[in-house]
Structure 1
């Protein structure tokens, strides 16, 4: 029987291995948000950048988990399509399934998830188009390429509800991780990671 705190079971130890610093900054923002809401023991959600992509990030996540004294109870690996072909993405899915890892995937990049905090998305963007758009006044109002990796709190903290709603809507139309673009499945997983229905 699990011990309980405030009538909730103690949360699992979860590790999110990320492709880069933008993802780390974002998931740490969510950790701060949900710590205040007391939905989860957010100290049990570990976020780490591996500075890798595709099969390389999955293999490195496995190496790090294998070398831990105590393995994570759940492992998420967050990365983008970038220039990967469909067969390379399929290989990543197969590897993650074999290890029991969950993929947090965005196509073409993580910035599609960031954009969903501001508006619905129904068309494809290149990385350059996303960076230019997010640099605009109604978004970050600064050079987003230089901003990446900094704290998102000021810009996105109170917009996670919108991102969740817009992300769920996108997933209804674009549900194929391997081939769809735009695509992101982050909206379907953040509630599980942070044990919340409040976004």
Structure 2
């Protein structure tokens, strides 16, 4: 029986918390996927690396997926059109099939995604006070958590199966969502909406399916 080649995945993260979570996934799923060391920075950083960094550029043809792990809120700089242009360019770096680009988006703060590791909840996360409330709720479940802390992030990540279920539940609560499928149409709608949501679970489900 031929040995199955593990998919090669690059992950670009907004902050240290996302990086620590990705490191956990890298170790947890190393038997089925090659997740490269996560990079701090998002779309412009990825675009620059795949254009100018030989390590990335030379691997483009064997890169299966590129993930962007970030928060979405009203104060975010840049526009969807700018993001979509870079995503489109990255997809085409590999021909037949194109590179799969996943947007692992969470409303307001990554702590909402972390909170879903413990409970089903859909709070408003638009203001600073509401983000602080989500942080408090998370700290009630995981005492000692602070952004970027490796130990508590790993403790949270151990519950990724529950988070995946709860993340899907959250998407299912959203009225007016064009489709549940990961598509440019859906992602644009979510990115530009003020709804509370996360799509990080779609990366988790992808990795779990590889194990199965």
Global fold match (TM > 0.5): yes
Q: Which residue number corresponds to residue 7 of structure 2?
A: 12
Distance 1:98 1:193, change over 3 A: farther
What whole-Å deviation, never above 9, does each CA across 1:105-153 have from its counterpart, x for those lacking one? 11112111101000012221332122222222xx1112x33x5331333
| Structure-2 separation of matches of 1:111 and 1:121 | 12
Name the residue aligned to 1:192.
206
**Is residue 164–residue 205 contact of structure 2 (8 Å, CA) maintained in 1?**
no
- The residue that corresponds to 1:148 in the other structure is 148
CA contact (8 A) 2:20 2:154 kept: no
Does 2:70 match 1:79?
yes
Once the 2 structures are TM-superposed, how far is the Cα of residue 29 of structure 1 from its aligned partner?
1.2
Distance 1:90 1:117, change over 3 A: farther
CA distance in 2, matches of 1:150, 1:82: 25
Contact 1:18 1:48 in 2 (8 A): yes
Provide the alpha-carbon RMSD of the alignment.
2.6
Which residue matches 1:132? Answer: 136
Q: Tell me the TM-score normalized by structure 1.
A: 0.76
In structure 2, what is the Cα distance between the partners aligned to 1:33 and 1:15? 16
Q: Tell me the distance in 1 between the aligned counterparts of 2:73 and 2:88.
A: 21
Deviation at 1:156, TM superposition (A): 3.1
Q: State the Cα distance separating 1:193 from its structure 2 match.
A: 4.4
Distance in 2 of aligned mates of 1:49 and 1:60: 9
- Aligned residue for 2:104, secondary structure, equals strand
Mark the runs of 5 or more structure 2 residues left unpaired by the alignment.
92-100, 178-188
Give the count of matched residue pairs.
178
For structure 1, the residue ranges without an aligned partner over 5 or more in a row are none
Question: Which residue is 1:116 aligned to?
Answer: 116
CA distance in 1, matches of 2:79, 2:122: 24
